[in-house]
Amino acid sequence: MDLSAINPVLLIAAMIAAATPILLAAIGELVVERAGVLNLGVEGMMITGAVCGFIITVNIGSPTVGFIAAAIGGAVLSLLFAFLTQIALANQVASGLALTLFGLGLSALMGQSYVGIKPPRVEATPLGPLADIPVIGPIVFGHDMVVYIGLAIVAATWATLKFTRTGLVLRAVGENHDAAHALGYKVKRIRTLAILFGGACAGLGGAYISLVRVPQWTEGMTAGVGWIALALVVFASWKPWRVLLGAYLFGGITQLQLNLQGAGVAIPVEYLAMSPYIVTIIVLVILSADKSRAPGSLGRTFHASG
Amino acid sequence: MTPLLALRGLTKAYPGVIANDAVTLEIAPGEIHALLGENGAGKSTLVKMIYGLVKPDSGTMQMRGTDYVPTDPRAARSAGVGMVFQHFSLFDALSVAENIALGMETPPPMRALATQIRDVSETYGLPLSPDRTVGDLSAGERQRVEIIRCLLQDPKLLIMDEPTSVLTPQEVDILFETLRKLSAEGTAILYISHKLEEIRALCDAATILRGGKVVGTCIPRDTSARDMAELMVGSTLATPKAAAHNTGNVVLDVTGLSAPAPSAFGMALKDVTFQVRAGDVLGIGGVAGNGQDELLAALSGETPCVPGMVSFLGRDLSNVAPEMRRGLGVLSAPEERLGHAAAPNMSLTENAMLTGAAREGLSVRGLLNWPKTRTFAERIIAEFDVRTPGPDNAARSLSGGNLQKFVIGREVLQRPEVLVVNQPTWGVDAAAAAAIRQSLLDLAAGGAAVVVISQDLDELMEISDRFAALNEGRLSAPRPTSELDVEQIGLMLGGAHGIEVAHV
């Protein structure tokens, strides 16, 4: 065992990067659920985003364009979910599961000829001298753009939900869609927009895995991150900052246990591998002991009646 | 004078039913206009058209002489139409201020809005704190939220759908003061209610709907409640009459019943004591949220209680679960129709099975006898005049009043020894309410002990032999109804619960 092989600064920097895909997917799903829609297709939208981002980046050579394509890819797939649940009034749970299965299959098909290719590197954000500050530099200022975008989305989501009319209307639609309809709000339109936002965020998170974390394309490479993101939203009591905390906790411990495994700590690998799940769940369960609860209309289909 | 709102020949048909058939109606500025009709007469559809929730198939609406075609509620609100809904359209998890902001087109910043809410609530004698979460409020307070939401829009026409069903007589008086003040300021009010005496006290004019058609108009002050009811029903109306009956032995004995509040929003029961004899109707009045639901739950067996508190014919009921109590003949019908008294997505037959299984012998050794259950459901539908295509329809598809007839009928037809009902005629039209009350009286005449928990004091005066008031989880000593008048009862209920008369 050689713990000295672990560099704490690089470890913390890696923890932040490891948390980003979960964070992006979870914050997107949080908005969807606050609007009253349960989209279980996060995994499918992530992997679709991952493959779209990968293909575009390899062909065009620009990761920025790739990430934009990933967000669009995720959003387009979520549009299918929006059609099924908001227009065709299909069951949300079944549609979400179908979306995941469809996304996994579609991405495998699209990515067939891209297996084994290495994409162009995603550069760190040029923050100039800030990145050269010892310790803080690599941890805070040494990341690529998407890490900061993820944080910005969390902050913007929190502020929008709390301080703006848009956020209030979104929460109202999620809380009681019949009352929102009676007051003249366009329940379906608002929900569709929320679903699109969730899809775009999930796509972005997926592309972060295929372009930065791994970086290559393999089938099913999101490996359940979408499901973790879904669980995280619930354990975070639908609160943006708790999603951030949960994602960093989960991403951080995942990274830590990988490092510990690498250093040859005398704990069975199975225990290390399960540690992120256990710690995250325990912390968030303790936090969610207050009286917060799910949005009132979550998962219920809205029929506009006369 | 040009009317504020003029409806001409409004027609709206749904598949299989014409909800409104060429309805014509005029409301002058500042007029308080009553809209009367039985359940299903088309009142809701009509106001939904005025509020932009439903588009008419034909006919025109004019607001102050110009065409008024609201495409959605926002358009209606900006034209000066406000609506207080019967089933409150509020968001439980949001604060009072947030709820009000959602009903406004261009709400001011939250802090300014909070000040406005305080001002308006003081002006109209409707105290309300803007920061409270709506889920924690009582029914009366929730209604204030809706009213204030409308008042902040400075409406020209205020539509009120059954506003007094949750209020005490004193609260009703205060609401009427508020409405009269609004009317004096030039706001017209379209007032929907089943309570004819209220309409006589408040309204300047009335339009009566039956089967979607206007069947008459009248000046409520000059028309007797009975005449109006007969116009609504289209036939003469029978007042419930108690047959002469003798009270027998004590059937239900409740002694020192105390129970902690079941939830943060509930009310603890404190030392509730009463006895009901066979043939006796005990009326329990009180404003919603004073322990009615908890009392019913303790009597039905939903919440367990300490031995010795509740007994039936001398038998202690503390360990007897609801289904076993039903088997013994202790039946109950809770207030909340959808989700408590009936499972919304299950058919009427299935709902009949849910409480009827034990007493009607609908299940034998765990196997369900569906044909017999269906017959039972059909009997409820026939005897209680439940308007539905048949027993296979989901409970959800029935209107509130019809479902109420079904859930009361389901218990009454099981020939209970003890029947506890909460709000038996809530949202039910005059004729059906009279029928339900009559069935409760008949049940008592047949030797059952009946406990009626209600917020409708006229109802309690009409059917109960004795009256007790439930206040903050405490029950007053029951007194014979014949010794009481509504004023005294109002005082028994503990006054107006923090409401003061409008002081401007």
Say yes or no: B55 and B99 in one domain: yes
User: In this predicted structure, what is the pLDDT of residue B178?
Assistant: 85
Answer with the one of B176, B206, B233 that is the final residue of a domain: B233
φ, ψ of residue B234 in degrees (nearest 5): 85, 10
Q: CA of A161 to nearest chain B CA: how many angstroms apart?
A: 12
Strands lying side by side in the sheet with B58-63 = B17-27, B5-14, B58-63, B66-67
> Which member of B14, B89, B93 has the closest CB to residue A182?
B89
Contacts of A175 in chain B (CB under 8 A): 91-94
Q: Give the residue-averaged pLDDT of A262-290.
A: 82
How high is the pLDDT of residue B502?
40
Q: Domains in chain B: how many in total?
A: 2
Q: Is residue B242 part of a domain?
A: no
Please tell me whether residues B330 and B466 are part of one structural domain: yes
Question: Half-sphere exposure of B213 toward its Cβ, with a 13 Å CA cutoff?
Answer: 6
The answer to whether position B179 is within a domain reads: yes
The whole-chain average pLDDT of chain A stands at 90
Residues of chain A found within 8 Å of residue B52, distances taken between Cβ atoms: 184
Lowest mean pLDDT, pick from A130-134, A213-217, B45-49, B240-244? B240-244
Closest CA relative to residue A279, chosen from A224, A240, A237, A232: A232
Considering only CB atoms, A296 lies closest to which of B52, B92, B264, namely B92
Residue B473: the pLDDT is: 87
B139-151 vs B169-184: helix axis angle to the nearest 10? 0
Task: Say whether both B372 and B486 belong to one domain.
Answer: yes
Of A165, A183, A296, the CB nearest to B73: A183
Q: Which residues of A touch B (CB under 8 A)?
A: 165, 168-169, 171-172, 175-176, 178-180, 182-185, 291, 293, 295-296, 306
CA distance B250 to chain A (A): 44
Q: Confidence band (pLDDT; 50, 70, 90) for B503?
A: very low
- Whether residues B404 and B480 fall in one domain: yes
Amino acid identity at B406: F
Asked whether residue B475 is assigned to any structural domain, the reply reads yes
Look at residue B498 in the predicted model and tell me its pLDDT: 37
Q: What is the interface pTM, i.e. ipTM, of the complex?
A: 0.79
pLDDT interval class at B32 (50, 70, 90):
very high
Mean pLDDT of A87-95: 93
| Cβ-nearest to A179 among B52, B74, B89 | B89
Q: Based on the fold, state whether residues B433 and B353 are members of the same structural domain.
A: yes
Q: Is it the case that residue A265 has pLDDT exceeding 60?
A: yes
Write the pLDDT tens digit of every residue in B173-215. 888 888 898 899 889 999 988 777 888 888 999 998 888 888 8
Q: What is the mean pLDDT of residues A29-35?
A: 96
**Distances in Å between the alpha carbon of A84 and those of A90, A95, A189, B102?**
5, 7, 14, 28
CB contact under 8 A, A171 and B89: no
Phi-psi region of B42 (alpha: psi -120 to 50; beta: other; left: phi over 0): left
For residue B210, the enclosing domain spans: 5-233
Q: What is the mean pLDDT of residues B426-447?
A: 86
The nearest alpha carbon in chain A to B82 belongs to A183
Instruction: Give the CA dihedral B379, B381, B382, B387, nearest 10 degrees.
Output: -170
B236, pLDDT greater than 70: no
Contact assignment for B89 to A306 by CB distance below 8 Å = no
Is there a single domain that holds both residue B339 and residue B441? Answer: yes
In a domain, B238, yes or no: no
User: Among all residues of chain B, which has the CA nearest to that of A184?
Assistant: B73
DSSP labels, A12-51:
HHHHHHHHHHHHHHHHHHHHHHHTT---TTHHHHHHHHHH
Residue B227 shares a structural domain with residue B321: no
* Confidence bin at A20 (pLDDT 50/70/90): very high
Candidate from A175, A291, A293 with C-beta closest to B91: A175
CB B199 within 8 A of CB B191: yes
Residue of B nearest to A170 (CA): B102
Please count the CA atoms within 13 angstroms of the CA of B209 that sit on its side-chain side.
31
Tell me the residues of chain B between 454 and 493 that have a Cβ less than 8 Å away from chain A: none
Question: Are A168 and B101 a contacting pair at CB < 8 A?
Answer: yes
Q: According to the model, what pLDDT value does residue B501 have?
A: 40
Does residue B182 sit in the same domain as residue B320?
Answer: no
CATH of the domain at B413: 3.40.50.300
Which residues of chain A are within 8 Å of residue B107 when distances are taken between CB atoms?
165
The tokens for A32 are 């969807």
pLDDT of residue B216: 86
| Same domain for B353 and B484 | yes
CB pairs under 8 A between A and B: 56
Q: Which residue of A has its CA nearest to B83?
A: A183
Quick one: closest CA in B to A180, which residue? B89
Which residues of chain A make contact with B264, given a CB cutoff of 8 A? 291
B208, part of any domain: yes
For residues B256 and B220, membership in a common domain is answered with no
- Domain topology for A3-287: ABC transporter involved in vitamin B12 uptake, BtuC (1.10.3470)
Distance of CA B311 to the CA centre of its chain: 30
The CA distance from B410 to A29, in Å, is: 44
Q: Give the start-to-end residue ranges of the domains of chain A.
A: 3-287
Please state the separation of Cα A181 from the chain's center in Å: 30
Among the partner-chain residues B53, B92, B264, the one whose CB lies closest to the CB of A182 is B53
pLDDT for B21 beyond 60: yes
Nearest to B85 among A165, A182, A296 (CB): A182
Residues of B in contact with A182 (CB under 8 A): 53, 73, 85, 89
List the single range of A109-118, B115-124, B166-175 with lowest mean pLDDT: B166-175
CB B205 within 8 A of CB B219: yes
Average pLDDT for A142-168: 93
Query: Does B223 lie in the same domain as B91?
Result: yes
User: Do residues B486 and B405 both lie within one domain?
Assistant: yes
What DSSP string describes B360-409? HT-EETTEE-HHHHHHHHHHHHHHTT--SS-TTSBGGGS-HHHHHHHHHH
| Predicted local distance difference test score (pLDDT) of residue B500 | 38
Contact B73 A178 (CB under 8 A): no
CA A237 – CA B97 distance, rounded (Å): 23
- Within an 8 Å CB–CB cutoff, is residue B74 touching chain A? yes
In a domain, B435, yes or no: yes
Residue B304 in any domain: the answer is yes
Q: Which residue carries 């972060």 as its tokens?
A: A208
CA-nearest residue of chain B to A171? B94
Using an 8 Å CB-CB cutoff, list chain B residues near A165.
101, 107
Q: Which of A172, A178, A185 sits opposite B94 (nearest CB)?
A: A172
Q: Give the residue from A183, A237, A297 with the most B CB atoms within 10 Å of its CB, the best one to mutate.
A: A183
